[in-house]
Amino acid sequence: MTHGHMREAQRKKTMDMLHTQKDIEDFLDDLFPRRSIKKVLLVNPADSHSEMFRYDTAKRKRYSSYPPYGLVVLAKNLRDVEVEVKICNLNHEILKKCYESESSENFDFDEIWQNLLDQDIASFQPDFIGITCMFSMSHESLKRVCMWVSNKEIPFGVGGVHISNNPDRVLEDIPIIPIAFFREGDSVVKNFVGAVNRSVGIENLGQMALNSGTSRMHLQNESVPDKEEIDVIPAWDLVDVQNTSKYGVIGVFQHLLPPGTRAATILSNRGCRADCSFCSVRALNGKGVRQRSITSVVDELELLKDTYGVSHFMWLDDDLLKDGKRAIGLFNEITRRNLNMTWDASNGFIAVSCTEEVISAAEESGCVGLNVGMESGNPEILKMIRKPGTVKNFLKVAEILHNHERIYSSLQLMVGFPGETMGMVMDTIKVALEMDMDWCRIAPLQPLAGTPIYNSMIEQGLIERDKEWRDIRFACGPFGKQVEIELGLRLATLNFEEAFSNISLDVVPTGEQITDIWFYMNYHLNFHRIFREDRPLKIEQQLMQLEYLNDVIAPENGFALYFTGFLQYKSFGKIDASVIERLSQKLDSSEYWQDRFFAFGLSCDDLTTMEFSNRYIPRLLPKGYTKSLVA
């Protein structure tokens, strides 16, 4: 039997365990001999583990530092049933300690989180510990926290997107987890505490697995929180919201915010009307959208502003614009209450809902940045992935956004869908160039467990199910593969020009070619287009974006330095010597960047001669591509 087959057999054995109400009672009796939960400690593990965490990256505040929104929501629900709650945000504390440390020698990642967790457990004496995990990439961090907590003889459980998407695999790899909760936990935790405390019948338990190590009971009841249940203001007093954004990044529009801006997040709607085949939102939130009342949302913003001094927020919503009238009502209410906050929609808007009326109201209410989800410019791919919107819609939205220059508008793209040929990718590049948005956020497809595309790719043998968690890395972001390539920690194509120009239009690119195609798209859609930018406000925004890339997001990126130089030349007629010096050092010390600069016809000398000879003609095209790339 192969390893994979053994796991499959184990999965079947544990999943199918039949149980009676008495089995559940016995399980709870064993775990909670006093049958009492009065205090719950909620834990947010660090996003990464010690070997993945890079001190320098954290020091320049590049990692994400979000308030643990899921936990503040759960805390509010637990308080409603008289449970005392404490939140231990290990991700935040690690970033804070790194920021405060004088050097990496005085910084011990594991010691920091273990001590903090121990202190909270000792001082709070919880009856139950709930641990969250959002990303598969954070599995190892979750595992280490679970192992640590399992020595404390306090019952614990885990929940969140990662666990919901991979229930059995998580329990197989961390069998000491007694309880795994799935999907939205709002009502689930209340029923769970009630069942343990014998104030709620155990027949109400659901969305969880009770795991004894040798057997597992899956409790199937669903209690999706309804409109009233989501209409709550989370327990913000339990987290250090004043300082969260001080140590890291919230959203993708930080470059637009004045230094020191206090930022937070807010969730208004649950779920999404669409069902894109690569997205795991439906698996977590079910079908459709549940909308929170406008009053409750704006009350929460007022609280964040007045009590915690937050002046910028990011919507966590997957489909904020589901109902255009409501969205306009929401934005107008923010304007009417004169909150004087800015906001961004880093998580993206659905293109068809971005009408002139909606975008005007958004801008008026403080929107400074938004993403539009497009993913592909090829109609066949759009249909296959079930993306809402057509090429015509996308072009129309771009036209609307061009009338709102104050909003920095970006486009979300993906590459590497099954069956997607190089020719289809070129369609995406063409449409994106025509849309001429301020930035494109391009992600190679990462099939996520629990999504339709993941299942179909497993069936087609395109991916393996049992990949080790440790090997799971998303392509982009601070822990992503691309950063490692640019830092020289991962292998890269040696001769980019040769490799790229040999990709024919009718082939479906390999994984390695996708990395090069991503690079090509990033150059053309984000950097080369800057040569054509003439609008003064946009030049100002792009300079802020590039400087933020140079200092925080990607100091390893040669293009960001080159185009900072170009925009300085365009704005002021001269270029800072420090920019030229940094670029020259980078090119001298990196064969990778020398090769890429050569491939795109760029040179550090362009910044001293101030002649940008490759300004109009993109030098590199895939094999057989005869159309013009310039829009």
Binding site for ligand SF4 (CB under 6 A): 272, 274-276, 279, 281, 318-319, 350, 373
Minimum Å gap between C-beta 73 and ligand B12 is 5
Helix H or strand E segment including 561: helix 558-572
Minimum Å gap between C-beta 279 and ligand SF4 is 3
Contact of residue 63 among ligand SF4, ligand B12, none (CB under 5-8 Å per partner type): none
Among 45, 157, 373, 389, binds ligand B12 (CB under 6 A): 157
What is the rounded CA–CA span in Å between residue 439 and residue 437? 6
Contact between 521 and ligand B12 by CB under 6 A: the answer reads no
Contact between 45 and ligand B12 by CB under 6 A: the answer reads no
Per DSSP, what are the bridge partners of residue 209? 180, 218
Angle between helices 90-100 and 109-124 (to 10 degrees): 130
Contact of residue 141 among ligand B12, ligand SF4, none (CB under 5-8 Å per partner type): none
Minimum Å gap between C-beta 241 and ligand SF4 is 25
Among 41, 49, 61, 66, binds ligand B12 (CB under 6 A): 66
Amino acid identity of 434?
A: E
Burial 501-517, CB ≥16 within 10 A → b, else e: bebebeeebeeebbbbb
Minimum Å gap between C-beta 620 and ligand SF4 is 31
Contact between 375 and ligand B12 by CB under 6 A: the answer reads no
Contact of residue 274 among ligand SF4, ligand B12, none (CB under 5-8 Å per partner type): ligand SF4
Residue nearer to ligand SF4 on the CB measure, 43 or 354: 354
What is the rounded CA–CA span in Å between residue 592 and residue 425? 24
What is the rounded CA–CA span in Å between residue 7 and residue 13? 10
Among 178, 377, 447, 477, binds ligand B12 (CB under 6 A): 477
Among 109, 135, 394, 566, binds ligand B12 (CB under 6 A): 135
Calculated CA dihedral for residues 592, 544, 524, 581, nearest 10 degrees: -30
Per DSSP, what are the bridge partners of residue 439? 410
Contact between 165 and ligand B12 by CB under 6 A: the answer reads yes
Residue nearer to ligand B12 on the CB measure, 80 or 364: 80
Among 184, 344, 486, 606, binds ligand B12 (CB under 6 A): 184
Question: Candidates 25-33, 64-72, 493-501, 511-519 — which segment interacts with ligand B12 by CB under 6 A?
Answer: 64-72
Contact of residue 373 among ligand B12, ligand SF4, none (CB under 5-8 Å per partner type): ligand SF4
**Residues 447-466 as x/- pattern, contact with ligand B12 by CB under 6 A:** -x------------------
Minimum Å gap between C-beta 501 and ligand B12 is 28
Residue nearer to ligand B12 on the CB measure, 165 or 291: 165
Residue nearer to ligand B12 on the CB measure, 496 or 518: 518
Minimum Å gap between C-beta 319 and ligand SF4 is 6
What is the rounded CA–CA span in Å between residue 142 and residue 135? 10
Residue nearer to ligand SF4 on the CB measure, 233 or 352: 352
Contact between 347 and ligand B12 by CB under 6 A: the answer reads yes
Contact between 186 and ligand B12 by CB under 6 A: the answer reads yes
Calculated CA dihedral for residues 480, 484, 485, 486, nearest 10 degrees: 100
Residue nearer to ligand SF4 on the CB measure, 275 or 484: 275
Residue nearer to ligand B12 on the CB measure, 362 or 453: 453
What is the rounded CA–CA span in Å between residue 10 and residue 104? 43
What is the rounded CA–CA span in Å between residue 464 and residue 373? 28
> Phi, psi (5° rounding) for residue 364?
-60, -35
Tokens linked to 484: 């490692």
What is the rounded CA–CA span in Å between residue 67 and residue 134? 13
Angle between helices 591-599 and 577-589 (to 10 degrees): 110
Angle between helices 69-80 and 186-196 (to 10 degrees): 40
Contact between 205 and ligand B12 by CB under 6 A: the answer reads no
Number of chain positions touching ligand B12 (CB under 6 A)? 41
Amino acid identity of 108?
A: D
Contact between 189 and ligand B12 by CB under 6 A: the answer reads yes
Residue nearer to ligand B12 on the CB measure, 281 or 385: 281
The answer to whether the beta carbons of residues 583 and 546 sit under 8 Å apart is: no
Among 130, 248, 366, 622, binds ligand B12 (CB under 6 A): 130
What is the rounded CA–CA span in Å between residue 612 and residue 498? 23
What is the rounded CA–CA span in Å between residue 607 and residue 580? 7
Q: In 3D, which of 176, 182, 178, 205 has the Cα closest to residue 193?
A: 205
Contact of residue 350 among ligand B12, ligand SF4, none (CB under 5-8 Å per partner type): ligand SF4
Among 54, 143, 162, 262, binds ligand B12 (CB under 6 A): 162
Residue nearer to ligand B12 on the CB measure, 443 or 543: 443
Among 235, 267, 381, 401, binds ligand B12 (CB under 6 A): 267
Query: What does each C-alpha distance from 583 to 17, 449, 550, 594 come to in angstroms?
Result: 62, 41, 10, 11
Which residues, 6+ apart, have CB-to-CB distance to 195 below 8 Å?
28, 201, 202, 204, 205
Among 37, 137, 381, 549, binds ligand B12 (CB under 6 A): 137
The answer to whether the beta carbons of residues 344 and 312 sit under 8 Å apart is: yes
Residue nearer to ligand SF4 on the CB measure, 318 or 427: 318
Helix runs in 337-471, H state only: 356-364, 379-384, 391-402, 422-435, 452-459
> Phi, psi (5° rounding) for residue 49?
-105, 175
Residue nearer to ligand SF4 on the CB measure, 67 or 452: 452
Contact of residue 553 among ligand SF4, ligand B12, none (CB under 5-8 Å per partner type): none
User: Applying CB under 6 A, which residues contact ligand B12?
Assistant: 47, 64, 66, 69-70, 73-74, 130, 132, 134-137, 157-162, 165, 181, 184-186, 188-189, 267, 279-281, 284, 316, 318, 347, 443, 446, 448, 474, 476-477, 479
